[in-house]
Amino acid sequence: MEFGLIAGNIVLILILVAGVVLTFLTLPGNLVIVLAALSYGFFEGFVRFDGEFLLALGGLFVLGEAAEFAAGMLGAKRQKASGRAVAAAFVGGVAGAVLGTAVMPLLGTVAGAVAGAFALSYAAEYGKTGDREQAARVARGAAVGLVAGTLFKLAVAVGMVAAIILRLSWG
pLDDT of residue 53: 97
Mean pLDDT on 41-57: 95
CA distance 61 to 87: 23
Percent of the chain with pLDDT over 70: 99
pLDDT at 29 over 80: yes
Distance CA 120, CA 88 (A): 5
Query: What's the chain's average pLDDT?
Result: 92
pLDDT tens digits, residue range 90-136? 899 889 988 998 898 878 888 999 999 999 999 999 999 999 999 99
Give the model's pLDDT for residue 170. Answer: 83
Q: Is 164 exposed, middle or buried, given 0-12, 13-18 or 19+ CB atoms closer than 10 A?
A: buried
- Based on the structure, what is the number of domains in the chain? 1
Structural domain including 49 reads 3-167
Length reported for the chain: 171
Share of the chain above pLDDT 90, in %: 73
Helix (H) or strand (E) run with residue 165 in it: helix 132-167
Identify the band that residue 17 occupies on the pLDDT scale cut at 50, 70 and 90: very high
Kindly tell me if the per-residue pLDDT of 1 is higher than 80: no
The residues near 83 (Cβ < 8 Å, ≥ 6 apart) are: none
Q: What is the mean pLDDT of residues 76-93?
A: 91
